[in-house]
Amino acid sequence: MKDDKKIVFITGCSSGMGRITALYLASNGYKVYAGSRKPHKLRDIESESLIPIKLDIKDFKSVEKFLNNIKKVDVLVNNAGYGLVGSVEEVSEEQMFEQFDVNVFGVFRVCKAVIPKMRESGGVIINISSFLGKIGLPLLTFYNSSKYALEGITDSLRHELKPFGIRVHSVLPGFFDTNFARENLVTNKTTFSDKSPYKDIVSTLAPTLIEQINNGNDKIEVAKLILKIIKDENFKARVAIGEKAKKFIPMRQVLSDEEFEDRVEGYYLS
């Protein structure tokens, strides 16, 4: 029997937004390939419609190996990523490159492999960015800049792929109740030591961020939004979701840089 379900490929599905989105789309009539470095974490939700795959987005051969075994991809959700927390002064080069290798070059690798499969019949690419791709915060310089880069990738790809009927969207979540603070934040030990010149910023900012992440919006909201984007051919290119994103993104658009920075500092650093 021919399987006419649309094929969705999602990266970073071990937990959080990736996992819930894979499950939600599979339950709504899509065949989902859920990529993860730890696919065993998805065995409890595996089904004919949700297939865990071992995937390392830092390795192009790993991405190619999976894609060589399927005929098409209708929807790509670039979700994999993590946040590096540390000062520019104290973070190592290895940590710097790792942050961009996953959050930026990982997206490039996956897109590079998927686009040839989309060009013939069109498709949808959804990049999970962050409201911090539009807002700078201390100690998150590397994460912020990786998400700023993802916004640039999204905007340019939208033009590049439009002639082939491929839509490219960016989702900018605020803080959501996921395992992000527990599993996807990597802290620089030097910055978080008592000897760091940034210890005062750490003591003010870090608890606020962790509290807001752990008490954020329900991650199912993101999954439902992704389904809407897939179904609506006229959906807007970029969308903010979650309390913090809906608060700061519009504010960023109407205030001057100096006014906006004052608001951010008052909210996070005072």
Residues annotated as catalytic are: 14, 129, 143, 147
Question: Which residues, other chains included, contact 247 with Cβ-Cβ below 8 Å and sequence gap of 6+?
Answer: 174
What is the C-alpha to C-alpha distance for residues 128 and 132, in angstroms, rounded to an integer?
Answer: 12
Looking at residue 5, the DSSP 8-state letter turns out to be P
With beta carbons less than 8 A apart as the criterion, state whether 64 and 9 touch.
no
User: Token digits for 87?
Assistant: 């000062």
Decide: helix, strand or coil at residue 80: coil
Instruction: Provide the Cα torsion 40, 43, 45, 49; round to 10°.
Output: 100
Question: Which residues, other chains included, contact 97 with Cβ-Cβ below 8 Å and sequence gap of 6+?
Answer: none
What is the C-alpha to C-alpha distance for residues 5 and 199, in angstroms, rounded to an integer?
Answer: 52
